[in-house]
Amino acid sequence: MSPAISPFALFFASIFTSNILLANFLGMCSFVSISKDMTSSNGLGLAVVVVLTVTTGVNWAVLQLLEALGLVYLRFIVFIIVIAAVVQMLEMIIDRVSQTLYMNLGIFLPLITVNCAILGVSLFMEIRSYSFIQSIVFGFGSGLGWWLAIMALSAIRKKVDKAPVPAGLKGAGITMITIGFMAMAFIGFSGMLQVQ
């Protein structure tokens, strides 16, 4: 039975109060490494939005099938395979449809297959037994949240690059501290909506 949350609330919750990066800390590796460069961050963020929305929808359908067959315990491995296949097909389709989009987004797609935020959202969808609409909205919102977070971080890192950072904290160190502060700031949203 799906929980009684309006898709609208779920959408905002997944962006702000339970941001996939800053509340759940999923998808950290590309978050830390790619945020060095703002243009790449933008492309990667956009790609995450697309892939999250599509794979969460597809995985919802696959989950119904697994439930009907009594094979829910296979969800981890099946979700991963589905994500990999969907990303492959998306890459081909984007290459066909628009060269510009492929330039900005396509090259990041293979990178995203192994992003744990993607698998994480599919698993949250399963644990919280969302309906189809809720799943799509949750996937889309989580993607936007991830995009927002990486853009914010890369903007901050641009400033930090020019700041006098102690030698031992340069690079990953100060970035992790920055992420910590950002997460604390996002806690400020937490009272607004409650979905978990």
| Residue keyed to tokens 């978990």 | 196
Instruction: Please report whether residue 68 would count as binding other proteins according to CB under 8 A.
Output: no
Instruction: Please report whether residue 77 would count as binding other proteins according to CB under 8 A.
Output: yes
Handedness of CA 164, 168, 170, 175 (dihedral sign): negative
Work out which of 29, 61, 72, 103 binds other proteins, going by CB under 8 A.
Answer: 103
Instruction: Please report whether residue 96 would count as binding other proteins according to CB under 8 A.
Output: yes
Q: What does the DSSP 8-state code read for residue 181?
A: H
Instruction: Please report whether residue 61 would count as binding other proteins according to CB under 8 A.
Output: no
Instruction: Please report whether residue 99 would count as binding other proteins according to CB under 8 A.
Output: yes
CA–CA separation, 94 and 91 (whole Å)? 5
Tell me whether residue 80 or residue 160 sits nearer to other proteins (CB atom).
80
CB of 101 to other proteins, least distance (A): 11
What is the number of residues in the chain?
Answer: 196
Q: Are 59 and 74 in contact (CB under 8 A)?
A: no
CA–CA separation, 113 and 87 (whole Å)? 7
CA–CA separation, 149 and 176 (whole Å)? 13
CB of 145 to other proteins, least distance (A): 27
Instruction: Please report whether residue 88 would count as binding other proteins according to CB under 8 A.
Output: yes
Q: Are 17 and 23 in contact (CB under 8 A)?
A: yes
Instruction: Please report whether residue 95 would count as binding other proteins according to CB under 8 A.
Output: yes
Tell me whether residue 99 or residue 194 sits nearer to other proteins (CB atom).
99
In the complex, the residues that contact other proteins under the rule CB under 8 A are 62, 69, 71, 73-74, 77-78, 81-82, 85, 88-89, 92-93, 95-96, 99-100, 103, 107
